[in-house]
């Protein structure tokens, strides 16, 4: 894949190896937590709102909505967090090696799809393996727009964080150990999506998803 593992123009080999690689599939899930909701950043009950862009990536959005409605993401973790780059989650195995049962077409220019949504701060996009059509459930949220030259056209961006980006930023406050990617990217405290659900569309009719997080800063 041009899995985020081949971004050698702007990143060291060690960081490059961490990119958005995901291989295989799985159907196990992480332990769920039921903490009482609060409103402080990083605590249980904090929410992230994602507005989907079906105009740019209709297949990806349809697949993501289907998994959300099935409760697929409930209890899963963000297993990889890299400062200044991205937070990756949606793997039922919690290792970066799993996914849902089905794979979908990669909606990006290198795969013949004119997706013009750029990987800027707050953009959500699909992780995949080397095969352009291997994305399933794993996704990532960008912290910066520093890697657009390498991500745009090779990964299917499909929406934006429109509320709660400060919660995503708080993921970087969780201590991390060395992950399978060779970088300090594996959170020592599980960053859990306790509940992922569809909510009412925005004023323009764009579909939205709400992610309710656990108290990962506890």
Task: Summarize pLDDT for 93-103 with one digit per residue, the tens.
Answer: 999 999 999 99
* Per-residue pLDDT, 158: 98
Question: At 17, is the pLDDT very low, low, confident or very high (cuts 50, 70, 90)?
Answer: very low
* Per-residue pLDDT, 123: 98
pLDDT of 21 strictly over 80 = no
* Per-residue pLDDT, 147: 95
Segment 156-204, tens digit of pLDDT: 999 999 999 999 999 999 999 999 888 899 999 999 999 999 999 999 9
The whole-angstrom distance between residue 195's C-alpha and the CA centroid of its chain comes to 15
pLDDT of 8 strictly over 60 = no
pLDDT of 89 strictly over 70 = yes
Segment 104-135, tens digit of pLDDT: 999 999 999 999 999 999 999 999 999 999 99
Over range 81-89, report the average pLDDT.
97
Exposed (0-12), middle (13-18) or buried (19+): which is 204, by Cβ within 10 Å? exposed
Q: Are strands 176-178 and 157-163 parallel, antiparallel or unpaired?
A: unpaired
**pTM of structure:** 0.84
* Per-residue pLDDT, 36: 37
Over range 5-19, report the average pLDDT.
37
Closest CA relative to residue 183, chosen from 46, 88, 68: 88
The whole-angstrom distance between residue 10's C-alpha and the CA centroid of its chain comes to 21
Q: Which domains does the chain have, with CATH numbers?
A: 13-31+43-213 (2.40.100.10)
pLDDT of 23 strictly over 60 = no
* Per-residue pLDDT, 43: 63
* Per-residue pLDDT, 20: 52
> Which ranges in 11-147 belong to alpha helices (H)?
13-16, 58-70
Question: At 45, is the pLDDT very low, low, confident or very high (cuts 50, 70, 90)?
Answer: confident
**Kind plus residue range of the DSSP H or E element containing 48:** strand 47-52
* Per-residue pLDDT, 40: 58
* Per-residue pLDDT, 41: 64
The tally of CA atoms less than 13 A away on the side-chain side of residue 135 is 30
Query: Cα–Cα distance between 67 and 114 in angstroms, integer?
Result: 24
Q: Give 155's contacts (C-beta < 8 A, 6+ positions apart).
A: 4, 20, 106, 108, 119, 125, 126, 127, 128
């Amino acid at each position: 894949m041009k899995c985020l593992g081949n971004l050698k123009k702007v990143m060291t080999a060690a960081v490059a190896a961490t990119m958005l690689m995901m291989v295989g599939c799985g159907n196990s899930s992480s332990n769920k937590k039921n903490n009482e909701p609060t409103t402080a950043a990083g605590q249980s009950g904090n929410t992230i709102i994602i507005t989907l862009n079906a105009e740019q990536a209709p297949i990806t959005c349809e697949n993501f909505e289907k998994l959300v409605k099935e409760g697929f993401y409930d209890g899963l973790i963000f297993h990889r967090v890299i400062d200044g780059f991205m937070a990756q989650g949606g793997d039922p195995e919690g290792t970066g090696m799993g996914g849902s049962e089905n794979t979908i077409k990669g909606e990006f220019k290198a795969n013949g799809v004119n997706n013009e949504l750029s990987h800027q701060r707050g953009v959500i996009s699909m992780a995949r393996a080397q095969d352009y059509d291997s994305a399933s459930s794993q996704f990532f949220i960008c912290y910066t727009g520093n890697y657009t030259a390498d991500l745009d056209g090779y990964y299917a961006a499909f929406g934006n964080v429109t509320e709660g980006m400060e919660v995503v930023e708080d993921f970087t406050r969780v201590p991390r150990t060395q992950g399978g990617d060779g970088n300090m990217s594996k959170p020592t405290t599980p960053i859990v999506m306790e509940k992922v659900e569809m909510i009412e569309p925005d004023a323009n009719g764009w579909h939205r998803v709400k992610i309710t997080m656990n108290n990962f800063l506890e």
